[in-house]
Amino acid sequence: MTDRLARTRAAGVLAVLRAPSPEAAIDSAEAIIRGGVTGIEVTFSTPDAPAVIRELLQRHGDSIVVGAGTITTPEQAEASAEAGAEFLVSPGTLPALTQTMVDTGKVVMSGALTPTEVMAALQLGVDVVKIFPASLGGPAYLGALRGPFPDAPLMPTGGVKPTNLADWFAAGAVAVGAGGDLANSTAIARADWSELEQRAHHFAQALAAVRS
């Protein structure tokens, strides 16, 4: 049986990208990729997210792992899948939405925080449970969830930094989602691509250290 999460695991870090325009999203993603982070989650907070996904795939193909985030409607899930998104991420877990996401055949990551929510997500057949906002409990909370869910693929998002990356993976993360500390909104607003590249470089270095 092939590991559906092999490419997600290999990327390790997914940059949660929220940009004010498709152009800014593409430029931001390019800077992050140059910095060494190859997982890009284009959120629906970004105008025309499917077009951004399509463009990034046209430029980079299989050398990056691109998905769609902040999916809140079945239509968004379907549009993302049609654009070529490799994974689909929702901030929460609603049965009808999650079923649509699963039906696309893409890797599905849906949001949960409590043990009850984790159980609900797993019952609906998601590939990864996104623990959000993970900053509320930190790596210790992720580790605590490992007790009742030792084999569940968990991905913390929120509160992930290069300085605590090792702690998240030690607590059992399959991958991490990194927002403001990586795809920083102020840097994006300033079009400061060198800062984004530097932030990505710090994450890439931290990930390499975890794996060495």
Backbone angles phi, psi at 208, to 5 degrees: -60, -40
**Residue 123 confidence class, pLDDT cut points 50, 70, 90:** very high
How confident is the model over 162-182, as a mean pLDDT? Answer: 97
Residue 179 above 90 pLDDT? yes
Catalytic residues: 41, 130
Q: Helices (H) and strands (E) in the chain — how many of each?
A: 10, 8
To which H or E segment does residue 14 belong?
strand 13-17
Report pLDDT digits (tens) over 81-108.
999 999 999 999 999 999 999 999 999 9
The whole-number pLDDT of residue 181 equals: 97
Residue 185 above 60 pLDDT? yes
Residue 1 above 60 pLDDT? no
The whole-number pLDDT of residue 2 equals: 64
Using the CB atoms, write b or e for 107-135: b if 16+ within 10 Å. bbbbbbbeeebbebbbebebbbbbbbebe
Residue 25 above 70 pLDDT? yes
Backbone angles phi, psi at 69, to 5 degrees: -125, 175
The whole-number pLDDT of residue 137 equals: 95
Residue 192 above 80 pLDDT? yes
How confident is the model over 115-127, as a mean pLDDT? Answer: 98
Domains of the chain, earliest start first: 6-211 (3.20.20.70)
